[in-house]
Amino acid sequence: MIILLTGASHTGKTLLAQKMLEKHSYPYLSIDHLKMGLIRSGNTRLTPEDDEALTEYLWPIVREIIKTAIENRQNLIVEGCYIPFRWRDDFGERYLPSIRFICLAMSDRYIEDYFSEICKHESEIEHRTVDSDCTIGSLKADNRSVIDGFRKAGEQVVLIDSNYEQTIEKLLD
C-alpha cells in the first residue's frame, strides 16, 4: 500500500506521516528531503521558493518511486506538497488500487481561530526555522489553492475545521 499524503503548508503532513509510520510500520519518504538533497547537491538550479517548478521537477521522480514500490509490493508513505492536482493521470489501473490518497487543508475559520497554535506546531516533527512568511493571509491563500485545485481534479480533501487531533486520529485507521 502506498499512502500519498499531501496538503497545504502547516497542516501536519509530516506529523501524520510520522504517526502512520509508528502505527503501521510503513516507512515514509519526505518529498521535502528529496527536494533539498537535489538542491544542495547542485543537481538543480531551483530554489526552495520555486514551488510550481519544483512540482514539475520532482513529481516524475516521485511518481516512479511510487510505481517501483507498488511493483515490489512494498508499503510506503510519500509525504509532501509537491504532488500535482491531477496526479491520478500518471497511474493506470495497475497502480491506482494500491494508492490511498490523503489531502489535508484547513478552513479559513480554523486558521483564524487557531493561527497561534498552528505556528507553535510548525516544528513538531522536524526542527525548522521560523517561517516569517507565514501569516493568516498566506495560510488562507495556500489552503484555498489546495482545496480548489484538488477538488477541481475530483479529489477528496480532508478539511480541518474544528478538532485537529480528532481529524488526524480518524486518518490513522
CA gap 51, 28 in Å, rounded: 21
pLDDT at 127: 52
pLDDT at 130: 45
As given in the structure block, the three cell numbers for residue 30 are 519526505
Dihedral of CA 60/54/160/125: which sign? positive
pLDDT at 129: 53
| Contact indicator for 106, 57 with CB cutoff of 8 Å | no
Identity of the amino acid at 32: D
Beta carbons within 8 Å of 92's beta carbon, 6+ residues apart: none
| Contact indicator for 155, 103 with CB cutoff of 8 Å | yes
| Contact indicator for 115, 143 with CB cutoff of 8 Å | no
pLDDT > 70? residue 132: no
Work out the average pLDDT over 45-73. 96
pLDDT at 51: 86
* pLDDT tens-digit series, residues 86-112: 999 999 999 999 999 999 999 999 999
CA gap 73, 52 in Å, rounded: 31
pLDDT at 34: 96
As given in the structure block, the three cell numbers for residue 161 are 475545521
Rounded alpha-carbon distances, angstroms, from residue 52 to 69, 81, 97, 123, 158: 25, 10, 27, 24, 22
Query: Could you report how far apart the first and last alpha carbons of the chain are, in Å?
Result: 14
* pLDDT tens-digit series, residues 17-39: 999 999 999 999 999 999 999 99
